Amino acid sequence: MRSRIATLDFARGLAIFGILLLNISAFGLPKAAYMNPAYAGLPSSSDTWTWAVLDAVAQGKFLMMFAMLFGGGLYLLLPRGKHWIQSRLSILLLCGLIHATLFWDGDILLSYGLIGLVCWRMVREGRSSQSLVSTGIILYLIGVAVLAILGVISSPKAGSFWLPGPAEIQYEQYWRLKGGWEAIQNRLDLLSSSLLAIGAQYGWELAGAMLIGSGLMRSGWLKGEFSERHYRKVAAALLPLSLLIQIPAIYLQWKSGWDYRWSGFLMQVPREIGSLMQAVSYLALCYGFWSVISRWRVVHWISQVGRMALTNYLLQTLICTTFFNFFGFFLHFDRLQLLALVPLVWMCNLLVTLLWLRYFRQGPLEWLWRKLTIKASGVEVKTA
């Protein structure tokens, strides 16, 4: 029976909360707004500053943080055997497909399951923690290089996905609010584009982050086996450096008026490099100050959210799609107003989590995931 690592649960819960900081705009605004604040003309000052701050502290950081934790989890699953791992990842992939098709086009579960199925053998065959981290960095940099190449060869003229016209925005609002088969068809179109992006570029970065996470777990770094001083030194080195790399790129995107080629590709390169460094620094801060923050009640609560990461991620979709699509609040708020709604969703996550774990040992979807994995793999495993 394997005991849980409390710091891992906290980091996972923090990542789930952090991902919503960016996802909230994808729930409440047209898809073009996620990367382009000027999708409908010159944005307001508050909208611009909200975008800039979120880009510096959150955009891509919590996704990479979660990917590294996912890779670390793959390493911990190795003793359970290939049938268990393959079944678990296949079920996650299927869950992501259902989520992306029937509920929300911003799903990450399908890509995590898909890349996980590719990566877990690399995790198993890695000669050492250093080789896993080195291979992960190489794969990640390949993804960054592909992004730069796409920026060079792409057309300077943006398509409707970057600069939609009033008709495209109105149609997106229509199918999101209407739902049904119309919405499913559009989500399937977006899913096909997402899969192409995973195959061409983003999948390299995701695989790289997972291998880095598995290497950090194998070395004991993600198990908290290094000194707190070590983690603090890592954070002190990487956090300022990552911001130093990214802030000029954010400024140039702003000054260029979010030009398609520069903002969509070329200025994303330093952002992607900085995001990985920043994700590591966020993890290092969790571990470096764990002896202090572990006494805080809110840290315990966030750790409980991390124990139910899958349930809480999908709960965020349920809450947000109900509010924005079913109740019709899509396109009713600007970026700053949407950000103000995030703590309310967090409170729902906390309330559901604390009530559920008072009576049960696992989240409902975690329990179902495990039961389906047992059936698919034929392997019974005791859990802590």
Output the DSSP codes for 333-351: S-HHHHHHHHHHHHHHHHH
Determine the average pLDDT of the residues in 361-375.
96
Q: Which residue matches tokens 């010159």?
A: 42
Return all residues near 111 (Cβ < 8 A) that are at least 6 apart. Answer: 96, 194, 198, 202, 203, 206
| Beta partners for residue 41, in sequence order | 39
pLDDT (0 to 100) of residue 5:
84
Return all residues near 247 (Cβ < 8 A) that are at least 6 apart. Answer: 56
pTM for this model (two decimals): 0.95
Type of residue at 314: L
Distance CA 255, CA 252 (A): 5
- Sign of the alpha-carbon dihedral angle for 146, 148, 153, 154: positive
pLDDT (0 to 100) of residue 154:
86
Return all residues near 74 (Cβ < 8 A) that are at least 6 apart. Answer: 85, 116, 119, 120, 123, 210, 213, 214
- 131-157 residue pLDDT tens: 999 999 999 999 999 999 999 998 888
- 295-344 residue pLDDT tens: 999 999 999 999 999 999 999 999 999 999 999 999 999 999 999 999 99
| Beta partners for residue 39, in sequence order | 41
**The pair of three-digit structure tokens given for residue 372, joined into one six-digit string:** 């389906």
